[in-house]
Structure formats: structure tokens, C-alpha cells
Amino acid sequence: MLTATRSEATPAPLRVLLVGSREEDFFLIREILKRSQNALAAHLDHAHSLDEARALSREHKYGLFLLQHDAGDGITTELLAEFAHSEHAVPFILLTEHADETTVAEIIKIGAWDCLERSQLNGLTLMRTIRSILNLHSMQQGWQSAEESLRKLYHAVEQSADMVMITGREGIIEYVNPAFEVLNGYSRNDVIGKTPRILKSGEHAADIYRDLWRTVLSGSVYRGILVNRKKNGELYYAETIISPVRDGDGRITHFISNGRDLTERMRLEAQLSAIAENGRHWASGWRSGA
């Protein structure tokens, strides 16, 4: 019998770059990281100059920078200005000795995430600071990713050829996209705060709308073809899909309606149907005459 064993993937160690000329800091931090391998696997590199830091950063992908800072040292501010706000920003921890509060505040304002006095550089303090910074950085990346997803979704909805309308649970309109404005003739300001009744054509029985609300309030998706009325009074057929949106607790908070104008398609289908019907009548009459 063959037995397959599955091994868990080992995460890549955190790559840390220490920038500065003090060798004693490098050996101390390397020893601290080595003793803490079970809690946080990490690999430490040392750059003695800004040029060396640039070269190593091109060669490796670092997850954390440790910067040695001395009074009058321009490397710190130059490195922060260059790397902290780059496309792939990396968190920085500043290692200082007798730095005044004003200097530290200015450096943190430039982009450093935290500051440690060299006199407090021990295993407990360093590892606690690193874990805190990494957690904060991970949260920030999550927020940025969520914001980017929202931006993409917003642009997709804004540029969609289908009309999109978002209402609250009570049916109050909170958003319509440009396609809605073009098709219906209403501006966004015309409809925000109102209900979809503004599009009501009078062509449907009340049962149609009761069934619609019963469906979406139960949590299901409504699909149907509705006759709506534009601002200028013109009627049109809309293929309509209304989906409920739930919050983290599963409660319905909003509804999203997607609509597509079917008027021209239905007009063509009606014409084709009429032609086919006339053809059947003609064929029937021809056979009868024969």
C-alpha cells in the first residue's frame, strides 16, 4: 500500500536589511533573530552605505528595514525619502542613540514606522516591535487592497453599458450610474433620495411589484422584464435583475438593480413574429385555394 504524506509549506523567512556602519548592532540583532527563529524566521543582511542598501534592495525583496541613525546622519532621511514611498513600500524601524524628540518626529513623519533606542535593544523589545510593525503593515496592505478593489468596482459600474441602481432596504435610491441617467433621462440628483416608483409605467398590475419585493426581501434574486417610464414619458422594456446585499451578520441592507434596455429587441421579435404569422396565413390560404 502506498501512503502519501503531505508536508506543510514552510513560509519564507522575513528578509531584514540593517542599514548603517555599526557592526555591533548587526551582531546583536543577528543573535536576537537567531534566538527567535521559532517565533519568527528571519534573515538579516547588512548595508554599510546608501549605495550598498540600494544594491541589496535591487537584489532581494526585503520585508523590513532597520536604520541606524546618528545625529547629523543624512543617510536616514535620504533612504526614507527614496524607499518609504516607493511602489512597494517597506516598513522602517529607526535605531537611535540620544536623538531628540523633534528629530525623531521629523524622521517618523518622513516615513519611519517606529523608533528604538539602542540602549533598549534587547530580544523582547526588538521582537515585540517587529511583530507590531509587521501586523500594522499587513493591515495597511489589506486596506490598500480593499480600496483598490473598490476603485476597480466603482469604475466598472460607472462605465457599464447596463444601468445600475442601488437602494437601501426601504427602497430609497442611493446611487445610479451614468447608463441609468442616459436611458431614463433623469440626472443622479433627480433620483437620489427617491424610490424606483419614479420609473413606474402603470403597465403592470400591483401583483408584479408585490412579487418583486417578496422575492428580494426573502433574500432571493429577482429576474424579470419590466416596462418602465422615462422622464420624457416614453415607455421601454427593461430586463431587470435585482440582488440583495447582506452585511457581515447576514442582514439585508441594500439592493442592487441591473437593467438592460430590451425595447429594440422586443420590437424586432414582434416584427418577426408578425411576419411568421402572415406567412402561415398565406400558406394556409394557398393550400385552401389549391
pLDDT (0 to 100) of residue 199: 95
Range of the domain at 226: 156-264
Given this model, what pLDDT does residue 72 score?
47
Residues 231 and 127 in one domain: no
Predicted local confidence at residue 74, as pLDDT? 58
228 phi, psi to nearest 5 deg: -110, 165
Q: Could you tell me if residue 271 is inside a domain?
A: no
**pTM of this structure:** 0.59
> How confident is the model at residue 2, as a pLDDT?
41
Q: Please give the pLDDT value at position 5.
A: 44
CATH of the domain at 125: 3.40.50.2300
pLDDT in the model for residue 278 = 61
Q: Is 98 left (phi over 0), alpha (psi -120 to 50) or beta?
A: left
pLDDT tens, 130-164? 888 778 777 877 787 888 888 888 899 999 999 99
Give per-residue pLDDT as tens, 172-183.
999 999 999 999
Task: Answer yes or no: do 131 and 164 share one domain.
Answer: no
Give me the number of domains the chain comprises: 2
Do 118 and 65 lie in one domain? The reply is yes
For residue 20, the model assigns a pLDDT of 83
Residue stretches of the chain with pLDDT short of 50: 1-7, 71-72
